[in-house]
Amino acid sequence: MRSSVLKDGCTRAPQRSLLRALGLSDSELKRPFIGVVSSASDYIPGHRHLKEISEAVKAGIRNAGGVPFEFETIGVCDGLAMGHGGMRYSLCSRELIADSAEVMLTAHPLDAVVFIPNCDKIVPGMLMAACRLNLPSIFVSGGPMLPGKHNNTRFGLSEMFEAVGSHAAGKIDDNELLALEKSACPSCGSCSGMYTANSMNCLTEAIGMALPGNGSIPAVMSARVALAKQAGEQVMELLKKDLRPKDILTKQAFENALRSDMALGCSSNTVLHLLAIAYEAGVEISMDTIDEISRTTPQLCKLNPASQVFITDLDEVGGIQSVLKELSKKGLIHEGIATVSGTVSERFANSPAADGEVIRTVENPFRKDGGIAILKGNIAPEGAVVKQGAVAPEMMQHTGPARCFDSEEAASDAILGGKIQAGDVVVIRYEGPKGGPGMREMLNPTSALTGMGLGSSVALITDGRFSGATRGAAIGHVSPEAAAGGVIALIEDGDLVEVDITNRALNVKVSDQVLAERKANWSAPQKNLSGYLKRYAQHVTSGSQGAVFEK
């Protein structure tokens, strides 16, 4: 056991004395030591209940003969951080979470680990740490929030952000806005739509690092607590088998996750995170890989914000395992590979068949290709990302004049001030990994456009990123970013921008010669950075590489 480095032999008597200070008995000192890495927090709705989840995990570990040791990581709630300077720290936190888990689990040798995340950057951060440490590991999340309900209509946080735009446009009054505010988030858990948190928890199950049900069982259900207990028991089986993350996280496993991503219509942020996790796992996944899988995977689910169907509805008809089962009918899933609990096909064997509505069949999908598309062109030679499954049909191909803004705030002010017209293409730049820094989410401007009735007539492109709650012709992750001298920095007001999602193209109708002349006179704006943001900007790579740190 790895923990023997800490506790075995005469020379480790001082360490054992410290362990006894924790109340450990003689018998416990001889058992496997299991880490429980939680992101519990009083300040994050998705994490408020994780202490209960961790207690269940620890009970499961003890049931199976292990000794649990819990510690907590930081976590950022993207909803709370949205629309102000705090959002610069959201993506940045992913690297800190991975680093902090590495530090704790190396400084205090343990034999296996249960990771308990729930929200956006915490899930990939912990997966990255699991790859680095390569200890037997299993994940169990806190589960999704229940959808809100107002006037007999269910809705989620995305509609709450859109209500701000509706209020600015005079479509609803203060009382209606308050009523929506009090109804949108009725329970703890990760926000109720197929936003980034739920996307990543679903993909953690699909990739094989979590038990069936991890992505979809609601946070408030007793089944979620039982799942946590099972995860604690199962990590002991992984330890006995010496089954480690890099045994599970193979190229085939990433392909299964990407197939699921496309079938579910997940958040565009999953592109960033799967690239980063693959980087840590030593698996070659690129934007081209994602594009290829997108082109050949049908979209089987259309979940909020793309519809009024929620994660809880998906859970009721079989969840992620039923999606995998349906994809397997078309030979799109690697069925024989290992997971934390048997092979892929063993896990979905007894799951319900697709119900045809929440989960459509492969013969009758919502789309013949995936919910996420990779666009390329002179604006994004390294690629850009759009959640095409949530784009109105009339915006799949759109050409319009550019309206350029060098920050999210400037764009939001223009939108809410009525300065954006139908047909425009809003360009928000210097919000990339280096330029932001931190690659902020642009949910405020996109939801304002939708709330003001412009979602089906205005496109938005940015080197920043989007929340999974975003819908419409919102193209993010434009690479190279503006701060690196990408073409997005050279676009001027009035330039015609062509957004062709159907043919996966993104171009500005300006000659190479003119762009070269503009580049010769260009310089990036200087930002007065300090602390972690300054270090982050110095080391982070392109969004097309997952915005990982240079090694």
3-state DSSP of 305-337: CCCCCCHHHHHHCCHHHHHHHHHHCCCCCCCCC
Q: Which two tokens stand for residue 280?
A: 């840590």
Distance, CA of 110 to CA of 448 (rounded, Å) = 48
The conformation of residue 218, written as its DSSP 8-state character, comes to: -
Residue 467 annotated to the active site: yes
- Which position has the token pair 């929030």? 145
Instruction: Tell me how far apart the alpha carbons of residues 358 and 322 are, in angstroms, rounded to a whole number.
Output: 11
- Report the candidate in 448, 444, 442 with the shortest Cα–Cα distance to residue 462: 442
Residue 275 CB burial class (10 angstroms; 0-12, 13-18, ≥19): buried
The CA-atom distances, in angstroms, between 312 and each of 139, 198, 220, 315 are 20, 11, 11, 5
What SS3 state is found at 444?
helix
**Element at 126 (helix H, strand E):** helix 122-133
Q: Which two tokens stand for residue 210?
A: 């979590």
Q: Exactly one of 90, 166, 457, 467 is catalytic; which is it?
A: 467
Q: Are strands 33-38 and 67-72 parallel, antiparallel or unpaired?
A: parallel
The token pair that represents 86 in the structure block: 């705090």
- The neighbouring-strand residues paired with 33 are 67
User: What six digits make up the tokens of 551?
Assistant: 């090694």
Q: What sign results for the dihedral spanned by CA atoms 115, 120, 122, 126?
A: positive
Residue 539 is inside which H or E element, if any?
helix 531-539
Where are any strands of DSSP class E within 353-504? 373-375, 383-386, 397-405, 425-428, 459-462, 474-479, 496-500
**By the 8 A CB rule, do 208 and 37 touch?**
no
Catalytic residue numbers, as ranges: 467
